[in-house]
Structure 1
Amino acid sequence: MSQSPAMSATAEPSSMKHEVQSPNFRKTPIQVLHEYGTKRGSLPVYALEKAEGEDHQPRFVFSVTIRDVCCTGQGSSKKAAKHLAADAALKLLPTDAVTVNLPLKSGSNGAAETTGPPNSVGRLQELALQRGWRRPEYTVLMEAGPPHMREFTVTCRLESLTENASGKSKKAAKRATAEKMIPKLLRLPGCSEFTWVSPKPSVRLENLKNSMAEKISLLRRKPLSIPNTDYIQMLLEVAKEQGFEVTYFDIDELTVNGRYQCLAELSTDPVTVCHGTGISCGNAHNDAAHGALQYVKIMASIK
Structure 2
Amino acid sequence: MSQEGYQSPAAVETTADTGLNMHEMQMSNPGKTPIQILHEYGTKTGNLPVYVMEKAEGEAHQPSFVFCVTVGDVSCSGQGPSKKAAKHHAAEAALKILQIDTGPVNVPVKSESNGVAAETNHHTNSVGILQELALQRGWRLPEYTFLMEAGPPHKREFTVTCRLESLSEKAVGHSKKAAKKAAAEKILAKLQSLSDCSEITWAPKPCVRFENLRNSSAEKISLLRRNPLSIPNKDYIQMMLELSKEQGFEVTYFDIDELTVNGQYQCLAELSTSPVTVCHGTGISCSNAHNDAAHSALQYIKIMASTKSVNQGDTCGVQGTEGTGGTE
Q: TM-score, normalised by structure 1?
A: 0.45
Rg larger in 1 or in 2? 1
